[in-house]
Homo-oligomer: A and B are copies of this chain.
Amino acid sequence: MTDGRITLAVDAMGGDRAPGEIVAGALGAVDELGVAVRLFGRASEIRACLPGGEPPEHVEMVDCADVIAMGDEPAASVRRLPDSSIVRAADAVRDGEADALVGAGNTGAAMAASLLRMGRVRGIARPAIAVAIPVPGSHPQVLLDAGATVDVEPEWLVQFARMGRIYARTRWGVAEPTVGLLSNGEEEGKGDELRKRTGALLRAEPGFVGNVEGTDLMVPGGPDVVVTDGFSGNLVLKTLEAALRSFSGLVLSILTSESLADVSDRVVPPLVEAAATFDPDVTGGAMLMGVRGVTIISHGSSSARAIVNACGLAAECVRADVVGQLAGTVGRAG
């Protein structure tokens, strides 16, 4: 920490728009959130993105020789490139030189670096990515796993449920979060073999409301925590993205058409503002839960704004000591 500030290790080289947007976002986070940042990456490239070529107050550069690219095989690259920006950033969190990691690059590499360098929380079998799903008129739902662990065991899904409750409680102050198991029908006994075996275990867990369906997402009254394996969680998340993009594109094309030109100035701005609720740039990335440190994964196309929000989420998770709570409670029902 610097001046008691929360310090974030930001992978300046990760993301489609790195390093420009990432560095801009990190500087924005310092200004807007009062955090300190360490920018990991090639010093010359980072410097080129800094106004005046020098890091301002509360910003530090950590020169790293290597970069793990988007398509690189995660675990092998992490092992092979100890001087890569994402690995060095994970090391900084492990060594107490930063409080949290923020990365928008190769998601698998961010996970592998976190797992291999920070280690798992004792008692957690596998990590899970927790993502906030917007619910108009209510606090978001947390969906996990959104892609960390694609082949799962029922016991791991039970741990995901416990991690999700800690997340919902910490981030949104939900005292007793409800938990639903994502399945292809609400009735007990619906689901594939994995879901059937998991449902039997989850029934002993606090807050469990049974199976839920895709239609229970994004609606008030749905469960606070939605549990699924990383494979289907990823499908669901990307399907949401696709649907919203397709539908909002259609809406905008109509409202900006010639016949409505005289009113588009009035109707489009409030819609764009409201649609921000659904914008992944605004939700601020996802938390990799189950590793011994706060790791926030922002999406590959992150803008500076997305990075500011990811930094905000990182700081929030540090302040709430989500990792400490995990370590304290996830071994037992919580």
Contacts and interface: CB of A to CB of B under 8 A. Distances in A.
A247 interface: yes
Interface in A107-141: 135-136
A255 to B, nearest CB: 6
A188 to B, nearest CB: 11
B235 A214 contact: yes
A254 to B, nearest CB: 5
A234 interface: yes
A242 B263 contact: no
Interface in A57-71: 71
Interface stretch (A30-38, A171-179, A199-207, A265-273): A265-273
Contacts of A263: 263, 266-267
Contacts of A191: 150, 231
Contacts of A228: 235
A240 B238 contact: no
Contact of A218 (B147, B193, B246): B246
A254 B235 contact: no
A18 interface: no
A219 to B, nearest CB: 7
10 contacts: A136-B250, A192-B231, A213-B238, A214-B236, A216-B242, A217-B242, A239-B243, A247-B247, A247-B248, A257-B270
Interface of A: 71, 135-136, 147, 150-151, 182-185, 187, 191-193, 195, 213-219, 228-232, 234-251, 254-255, 257, 260, 263, 266-267, 270-271, 274-275, 277-278
